[in-house]
Amino acid sequence: TAINENGVPTEGMRLPAGTSAWIPIGSPKAAAREDSASTIELLRNENVELKARVESLETRMASLESLTAGKAMEQ
């Protein structure tokens, strides 16, 4: 955890470029952008892709665990 100039922990905080004021990460924007719908759709698509990759990696990991468990039993 970083500490700001006042000694306050800054976990979950960020320092925007060109400012000296720490703000919470993920703080809401003052106004919604016009392209927010397309941004949300892009994020949803990315989420689907990432979930598929995680599922694939979990399958591979289970296979490796099964393989290593089998080798351990042989010894």
Label residue 18 by pLDDT band (50, 70, 90). Answer: confident
Residues 58, 35: Cα–Cα separation, whole Å = 34
* pLDDT tens, position by position, 42-72: 889 999 999 999 999 999 999 999 988 877 6
* Tally of domains in the chain: 1
Q: Which residue has the tokens 């591979």?
A: 60
- Does residue 50 sit within a domain? yes
* Domain extent at residue 60: 13-27+34-74
Residue 30 reports pLDDT greater than 70: no
**Residue 59 located in a structural domain:** yes
Entry field: residues in the chain:
75
Tokens in use for 68? Answer: 């290593």
Provide the pLDDT for residue 65: 92
Residue 62 in domain: yes
Q: What tokens were used for 40?
A: 């949300």
Question: Quick check: 24 and 12 in contact, CB under 8 A?
Answer: yes
2 within domain boundaries: no
6 located within any domain: no
In terms of Cα–Cα distance, which of 19, 41, 62, 9 is closest to 70?
A: 62
In a domain, 67, yes or no: yes
- The answer to the question of residue 5 being in a domain is no
Give a yes or no: residue 4 inside a domain: no
